[in-house]
Amino acid sequence: MSPPQELELSERAQTLLRTLVRRYIEEGRPIGSRSLAQAYGLAVSPATVRNALVDLEELGYLTAPHTSAGRVPTDRGLRVYVDHLLQVEPVTAATVEHLRRRLVRDREEGGDELADSASGLLSQLTRLAGVVTLPRRERAVLRHVDFLPLSGRRVLAILVVNQRDVQHRVIEADRAFSEAELQRLANYLNTEYAGAELSQVRDSLRAAVQAERERLDALLGSVAEVAGKALAEEAGSEDYVVAGQTNLMGLEELSDVARLRRLFEAFTQKQDILHLLDRCARPQGVQVYIGREAGHAAFDGMSLVTARYAVEGESAGVLGVIGPTRMAYGQVVPIVDVTARLVGAALNPLR
């Protein structure tokens, strides 16, 4: 998201917009000028408030779903509210301690268990859906590789990763390879890539294939095929856990079955959600994506509040809360922020 632009609204307009958004979040219905004037707490008439709301509507911050039925904030109005008018509610010391103890307890089971626990805690505290990407594994550096032919087209890849981590992977090649051919492939990889991270080796091979596709010699073609499979990331190495999807089913805003189905399909397919969460892992601090800002059709009418968690100063993953645009941002934002910090703190002793 781009940084918030300067807000050019009068103090009265800001107060009205803040009050209307708050009441809309609490009540879930269009807010009329009369009730807003009462909540405003100033000696102004409903007509004065009505005129100010008309101005906000013309600026695109509010909309009237029905004639004379009050107004609700648009996604643009919610963006102004979150960027400029939001007053967060600090997380209580008791809640922070509860989070810390649960996460410290579950860290002994590993990063996956910790992510599962964090997503459940986010869901419980917000009554929305909590999502947490699994922590990135330690950087894997290739030290040595060997290939041995098995029956048919199968090849045994023996990888020495980092200092002493030996991995065995059986891969299915597109054709049968002789022992001499596999030795040439291993020699090439050990000469060119020993000491490089596996991700860099994969990227380099992909780039070579792309650049030399038409004039690729036999050796490099075989390397790209066999090594690409041997160095492929294990299934689930980039994944996330989500908890509290059923919380979304009870919300009036998501009573549209088709919309809810699209969201649940996105959870199931995962790739689009992972792409979105990867974007969220880049900026620092808490990020709020409202509606179409997420860049995914399934999030139309939804908001995503995220924060990355770090291990030894480096981003290790991202966590957040998914819910309707009418969510209590003042409560959700600090919960996401605190949870991200505690997850990072819990993971640090594991490294």
Residue 197: CATH number of its domain: 3.30.390
Do 247 and 218 sit in the same domain of this protein? Answer: no
In 3D space, the residue among 311, 314, 321, 298 whose CA is nearest the CA of residue 342 turns out to be 311
Q: What is the pLDDT of residues 120-149, one digit of tens each?
A: 999 999 999 998 887 765 567 888 988 888
Do 258 and 121 sit in the same domain of this protein? Answer: yes
In a domain, 6, yes or no: no
Report how far residue 109's alpha carbon sits from residue 307's, in angstroms, rounded to the nearest whole number. Answer: 23
Do 258 and 333 sit in the same domain of this protein? Answer: yes
Do 151 and 214 sit in the same domain of this protein? Answer: yes
Q: Residue 9 carries which side chain, given as an amino acid letter? A: L
Question: Of 203, 230, 257, which residue sits at a domain end?
Answer: 230
In a domain, 87, yes or no: no
- Here the CATH number for the domain that contains residue 59 is 1.10.10.10
Question: Of 230, 245, 273, which residue sits at a domain end?
Answer: 230
Whole-number pLDDT of residue 175 = 80
Do 199 and 127 sit in the same domain of this protein? Answer: no
In a domain, 61, yes or no: yes
Whole-number pLDDT of residue 237 = 44
Instruction: Find residue 241's DSSP bridge partners.
Output: 132
Question: Of 230, 251, 283, which residue sits at a domain end?
Answer: 230
Do 298 and 336 sit in the same domain of this protein? Answer: yes
In a domain, 84, yes or no: no
Q: pLDDT tens, position by position, for the chain (351 residues)?
A: 445 555 678 888 898 999 999 999 998 889 988 888 777 665 677 788 888 899 999 999 999 887 667 899 999 999 999 999 999 999 999 999 999 999 988 877 666 788 889 999 999 999 999 988 877 655 678 889 888 888 888 888 888 887 767 777 788 887 888 888 888 888 988 998 888 887 778 778 767 665 555 554 544 555 555 555 556 544 344 577 788 777 777 677 766 666 667 777 767 666 667 667 776 766 678 999 998 887 777 778 889 999 999 877 778 888 999 999 999 999 999 999 999 999 999 887 654
Whole-number pLDDT of residue 216 = 47
Do 132 and 212 sit in the same domain of this protein? Answer: no
Share of the chain above pLDDT 90, in %: 28
Q: How many distinct structural domains can be found in the chain?
A: 3
At residue 317, what are phi and psi to the nearest 5 degrees?
170, -175
Would the pTM of this model clear 0.75, i.e. be above it? Answer: no
Residue 65 belongs to domain spanning: 11-78
Do 312 and 248 sit in the same domain of this protein? Answer: yes
* Half-sphere exposure in the Cβ direction for 118 (13 Å, CA): 39
Rounded to the nearest angstrom, the gap between the alpha carbon of residue 223 and the centroid of all alpha carbons in its chain is 34
Whole-number pLDDT of residue 234 = 44
Residues 6+ apart with CB under 8 A from 29: 70
Do 132 and 251 sit in the same domain of this protein? Answer: yes
Do 28 and 126 sit in the same domain of this protein? Answer: no
Q: Give the total residue count for the chain.
A: 351
Do 226 and 243 sit in the same domain of this protein? Answer: no
Do 266 and 132 sit in the same domain of this protein? Answer: yes
In a domain, 5, yes or no: no
